[in-house]
Structure 1
Amino acid sequence: MSDKRTPSGSSSYQPRPTSSRTTYVLVGAAIVIVAALVIGGVVWNSQRDKGSADEAVLSENAALIIGAPSAPQTIDVFEDFMCPVCQTFEQQSGTSITRAINEGTLRVRYHMLTFLDKQSSSGDYSSRAAGAAQCVGESENKDVFLKFHSALFTEQPKEGGDTDLSNADLARIAGQQGASAATQKCISDGARVTQAQEAAKQSQVQLDKAAGQVATPSVLSGGEPVDAIMDGTAWLDQLLAQQG
């Protein structure tokens, strides 16, 4: 179902989550940071020039690629399953994204980041959830993956809470979305966690290159950031209209 490849590389970034009403940002310690006030919180931006992410590298290090190769529009979506703003993004745009994928007009390269691991009770929830998504993506069709992706945000543990979801819980949720027993075992065993962590490292590098920061949620089109993704689905409507 997905054109998934195993990435390599490393990153020295440390997480700096902002207000729960804005994006979650991961910034390099060597980068000069300035604070910019926005409604609902503070976003940290790099002062260095932004570039464009490498399309070939984005394709290589995407955790999962969903949608027809012939789709006229491709986007890169960067999320962390522990990020509450990503949950809001899924609530606002998830249905429209799924519809466009099913209609063959959109191809999505999902980049599941893991920098909010330390905000989870277990200390590795983001990584385990990303690994679970890869188990589903490898073995199931796109419908099961998209349902599981949405379900993980619906069942999202509270950031900084006293508990989160175990691998057995993640496997159970996958089964409820139609995943096979073999896929559930992959999740229970944590078989793709290391792979998910490596994918996240390379995705962070590309997102920082394109946007001057690592923030979730983020969307790239043509290797460049898409604006206003938290303001409903107009951003997606505009991208799909451009394909004509």
Structure 2
Amino acid sequence: MSKRNSQAAKSAARERLRIEREREAKRAKVKRQVIVAGSIVAVLAIAGGISYAVVQNNEPSKWNAAADAKVVAPANTSGTNGTTVVIGESKTDNTVHLYEDPRCPACATFEQTVGETVNKGMKDGDYKLSFTIGTFLDGSLSGEGSKNALSALGAALNVSSDAFLEYKTALYSTKYHPEESTDEFAKDSYLIEVANTVDALKNNKKFQDAVEKGTYDAWAMKMSKSFDDAEGVDSTPTIKINDKKIENPSSVADWQTALKDAGVTK
């Protein structure tokens, strides 16, 4: 190879090396830009996720919104926002007032033990039955089953007073009342399943729509507030006969004694 050709070859090699280095430098620059861009996107995504979470957490829940919503009161109610529920046609002034929470296990025990007798006394005309239902266990145990069940009870009450009583009995029954720590009543499907054991509610499309659409959610929140404001009520069940709080009966005999002591029966 001549000296001239050798020099040319070296020059060509140096040129190829320069071009390759420029390509490498460009590739490295592009890579750095991609990494930086990706990091920015990731940071923005995290920030966006945090912002979304903050917004979500700051948005009112379904039940917070219901507390401020316009109340649709069920039929067979009276008073402000329909929170007065009195059942019975007794000619006397005697009233048995029950304060309960749908998730309350002691309420379930009371209903299973004495509920049928209590309802019979109302039907026999010995007294009227008044109900104030709370939802404090949702706060104590977390969840929304008490509120959801109360809304469903409103839907049952809208059908009839008898449907309300029978549905309440079913919700508190040994078969359907869940453990206190579970939140089965938060499921509309479960509430409808229980309702299908009540003749007036079985496959009742109007009732089911009211449960699923939350028609009586705002009413439930007002009823719950009236429970919170009730004087002398700090646990469930609380039972008052003619406005006087009594010791919770553990048997039918105890209930009959309580009525007699209150002058309701002889």
Verify same fold: TM over 0.5: yes
Q: In the alignment, which residue of structure 2 is the partner of 1:168? A: 189
Flag the structure with more relative contact order, 1 or 2, with Cα contacts below 8 A and sequence separation at least 6. 1
Q: In the alignment, which residue of structure 2 is the partner of 1:225? A: 245
SS class of match (2:131): strand
For the Cα contact (< 8 Å) 1:170–1:188, is it kept in 2?
A: no
- Distance in 2 (CA, whole Å) between partners of 1:235 and 1:217 is 15
Write the deviation string for residues 32-62 of structure 1: whole angstroms up to 9, x where unpaired: xxxxxxxxxxxxxxxxxxxxxxxxxxxx733
Q: In the alignment, which residue of structure 2 is the partner of 1:111? A: 132
Provide structure 2 residue ranges, at least 5 long, that are not aligned to the other structure: 1-74
Cα distance change of structure 1 residues 224 and 243 upon mapping to structure 2, 3 Å threshold: closer
| CA shift for structure 1 position 106 | 2.2
Cα distance change of structure 1 residues 162 and 218 upon mapping to structure 2, 3 Å threshold: closer
Q: Higher strand share goes to which structure?
A: 1
Verify: 1:191 aligned to 2:215, yes or no. yes
Cα distance change of structure 1 residues 6 and 170 upon mapping to structure 2, 3 Å threshold: farther
For the Cα contact (< 8 Å) 2:185–2:191, is it kept in 1?
A: no
Q: In the alignment, which residue of structure 1 is the partner of 2:69? A: none
- Distance in 1 (CA, whole Å) between partners of 2:93 and 2:169 is 24
Cα distance change of structure 1 residues 146 and 164 upon mapping to structure 2, 3 Å threshold: closer
Q: In the alignment, which residue of structure 2 is the partner of 1:205? A: 229
- Distance in 1 (CA, whole Å) between partners of 2:183 and 2:158 is 31
For the Cα contact (< 8 Å) 1:158–1:164, is it kept in 2?
A: no
Quick one: which of 119, 143, 147 aligns to 1:127?
Answer: 147
Write the deviation string for residues 7-37 of structure 1: whole angstroms up to 9, x where unpaired: 4xxxxxxxxxxxxxxxxxxxxxxxxxxxxxx
For the Cα contact (< 8 Å) 1:113–1:126, is it kept in 2?
A: yes
SS class of match (2:116): helix
- Distance in 2 (CA, whole Å) between partners of 1:134 and 1:6 is 15
SS class of match (2:106): helix
For the Cα contact (< 8 Å) 1:78–1:218, is it kept in 2?
A: yes
For the Cα contact (< 8 Å) 1:219–1:225, is it kept in 2?
A: yes
- Distance in 2 (CA, whole Å) between partners of 1:129 and 1:163 is 10
- Distance in 2 (CA, whole Å) between partners of 1:240 and 1:107 is 13
| CA shift for structure 1 position 184 | 2.1
Q: In the alignment, which residue of structure 2 is the partner of 1:61? A: 83
Verify: 1:75 aligned to 2:149, yes or no. no
Q: In the alignment, which residue of structure 2 is the partner of 1:181? A: 205
- Distance in 2 (CA, whole Å) between partners of 1:61 and 1:163 is 25
- Distance in 2 (CA, whole Å) between partners of 1:168 and 1:71 is 40
Q: In the alignment, which residue of structure 2 is the partner of 1:28? A: none
For the Cα contact (< 8 Å) 2:110–2:250, is it kept in 1?
A: no
| CA shift for structure 1 position 182 | 0.8
For the Cα contact (< 8 Å) 1:75–1:107, is it kept in 2?
A: yes
Provide structure 1 residue ranges, at least 5 long, that are not aligned to the other structure: 8-59
- Distance in 1 (CA, whole Å) between partners of 2:124 and 2:86 is 16
- Distance in 2 (CA, whole Å) between partners of 1:90 and 1:160 is 19
Quick one: which of 76, 79, 96 aligns to 1:2?
Answer: 76
SS class of match (2:219): helix
| CA shift for structure 1 position 163 | 4.8
Q: In the alignment, which residue of structure 2 is the partner of 1:214? A: 234
Identity across matched positions, percent: 22
Write the deviation string for residues 79-109 of structure 1: whole angstroms up to 9, x where unpaired: 1110111111111110101111221222111
Cα distance change of structure 1 residues 232 and 195 upon mapping to structure 2, 3 Å threshold: same
Q: In the alignment, which residue of structure 1 is the partner of 2:6? A: none
Count of residue pairs the alignment pairs up: 184
- Distance in 2 (CA, whole Å) between partners of 1:72 and 1:240 is 14
- TM-score computed with the length of structure 2 as normaliser: 0.62
Output the aligned Cα RMSD: 2.3
SS class of match (1:105): coil
Moved over 6 A (4+): none
- TM-score computed with the length of structure 1 as normaliser: 0.67
Quick one: which of 91, 97, 100 aligns to 2:121?
Answer: 100
- Of the two, which has the highest radius of gyration? 2
SS class of match (1:215): coil
| CA shift for structure 1 position 204 | 2.2
Q: In the alignment, which residue of structure 1 is the partner of 2:171? A: 152
